[in-house]
């Protein structure tokens, strides 16, 4: 179980940090997707900061402060629930797999982090 926790969390850290960098760089695909779901470009730095903070929290959790890792995973899950909701609200279906993938990845990180936290307390 610990090995799965480490692998999934490392992948989640890389994915969330990578998309945060893409947001900050105002990558073409980020700007196009934001426009489709009615997210103003001025929100991108704040959204990037949330994703980067989540990735940092996952890393800190992986390094031993498990409650912070769980909290970061909860925040990322909620963030991507919002992203999926934005796609549903605007009926943008052609690329909804991306926020759903991030949601699934962060939900897996949350479940494994919570499991690692409960095993540590036992």
pLDDT at 121 over 60: no
Detail the DSSP E strand segments found in the chain: none
CA atoms within 13 A on the CB side of 8: 23
| Whether 51 contacts 16, CB under 8 Å | yes
pTM of the model: 0.92
Rounded mean pLDDT of the chain?
Answer: 95
Least confident of 6-15, 82-91, 100-109, 112-121: 112-121
DSSP string for residues in 61-106? HHTT-HHHHHHHHHHHHHHHHHHHHHHHHHT--TTTHHHHHHHHHH
pLDDT value of residue 1: 77
Residue with tokens 């999926």: 84
* Interval 18-71: pLDDT, tens: 999 999 999 999 999 999 999 999 999 999 999 999 999 999 999 999 999 999
């Amino acid at each position: 179980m610990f090995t799965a926790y480490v692998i999934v969390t490392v992948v989640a850290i890389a994915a969330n940090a990578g998309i945060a960098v893409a947001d900050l760089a105002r990558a073409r695909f980020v700007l196009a997707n934001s426009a489709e779901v009615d997210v103003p470009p001025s929100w991108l730095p704040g959204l990037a900061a949330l994703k980067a903070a989540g990735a940092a929290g996952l890393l800190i959790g992986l390094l031993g402060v498990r409650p912070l890792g769980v909290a970061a995973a909860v925040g990322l899950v909620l963030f991507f629930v919002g992203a999926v909701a934005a796609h549903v609200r605007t009926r943008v279906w052609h690329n909804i797999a991306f926020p759903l993938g991030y949601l699934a990845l962060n939900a897996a990180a949350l479940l494994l982090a919570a499991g690692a936290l409960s095993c540590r307390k036992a």
